[in-house]
A and B are shown apart, each in its own frame.
Chain A
Amino acid sequence: MRGWKARIGIAGKKRRPVPNSQATANSGPDGGEHGENHDHPSYLRHHFHSVEQQADAANFAMWIFLATEAMFFGGLFTAYLVYRNWYFPAFVAGSHQLNVIWGTLNTVVLILSSFTMAMGVWCAETGRRRGLVLCLSLTFVLGIGFLGIKGIEYREKIEKHHFPGLQYNLSSFLDPQSDPDVFKQYHDKPLSLDMARHTEIYFSLYFAMTGMHALHMIVGIGVLGFMIFRARAGAYTSGHVTFVENFGLYWHFVDIVWIYLFALLYLISRH
């Protein structure tokens, strides 16, 4: 049975012997022979001619990716602005249902995590392996903390039947006094039936925007876990900091999105 894979053509990457004169492109960083003597770092991919070019390209690629992410959220921000313009009272009432303390705490947590991430990049750049592991771990913990707080907030909203589409409950808006915690703070006036219905759009946008943001956080935290693993093995503190740097860009971007979400969703008008 040996050799059956070859016979049906899934033998994998078998190479035919390549004569030196043809395949050893002189454009490699070590010129001619590409045999045993690699005097370039092992992480240099062969279609790049130098480490600088590779790092530069990877960095630019991450910035462009962040631009696509920005346009992705852009659609949500457009929807938000359109409906806030149309249904301002509903948006105010909906925003009062969000706990500004949790929101502010989340913002502080995320800003701190951006700081620890930036410090992590500095540790990688200056070869501080233990510092890097510490910073990445702190960022990880803060990220989990953010998600935990978000979870608490979501549960609160779902318990109050403010999740769009799932037995959405208008009573807090038709009769604000039935919701004493919120009424104590803001003394909202009751909304008309029409305007009360529009709070469902506010919450749609709230869950869509913070949900999309949370999804990005989850991906980020996953990658962080992987990075902590690799950082402990010293992968990022011997000159090859591209991965940490570019991940840092992603993490900061997620922070920037939250900064805007916080201002737009939580702080509409609390006076």
Chain B
Amino acid sequence: MNEVSISEDTIKTIVEKYHGEKSALISILQDVQKEYAFLPKDALSLLSEEMEVPLSRVYEVSTFYNSFSLVPRGRHVIEVCAGTACHVKGGPKLRSRLEAELNIECGETTEDRMFTLEEVRCLGCCSLAPVVKIDSDIYAYLEEDKIPGSLENYRKERRQSGEN
């Protein structure tokens, strides 16, 4: 499942964009993740060779930061805000409801690869708590009971676009 074909040229282009600077490793990994929606193993090996940085260090950085994922993620990434204001205003309830609706734990991806559920450390819209971000859309003042409908909208969109 985790196999994707890595284009050597793509990786090289990304590395060249930063002139192979070792200090740009984080930005380079961000670009690679943008390309493949996660960090494929082969891409990391290739990066290590191209940048002449030990694979162990590439791995260290990829696993240290929360925004990197070593496993493929779903088509839609749902981020539940775990900021203090959201916690106080019912964020944990949203999280449980999402876990129940999607039948996965936070940090996992649904079997059909539609959704990945993650917790995020404060999105900085504390005034709109509790919030959930799906892809780049922020849902403000979200109520638990609105969750099934919102998820259904994404599923419907998918069915309408007729993709497999």
Q: Does B bind A?
A: no
Chain A residues near B (Cβ < 8 Å)? none
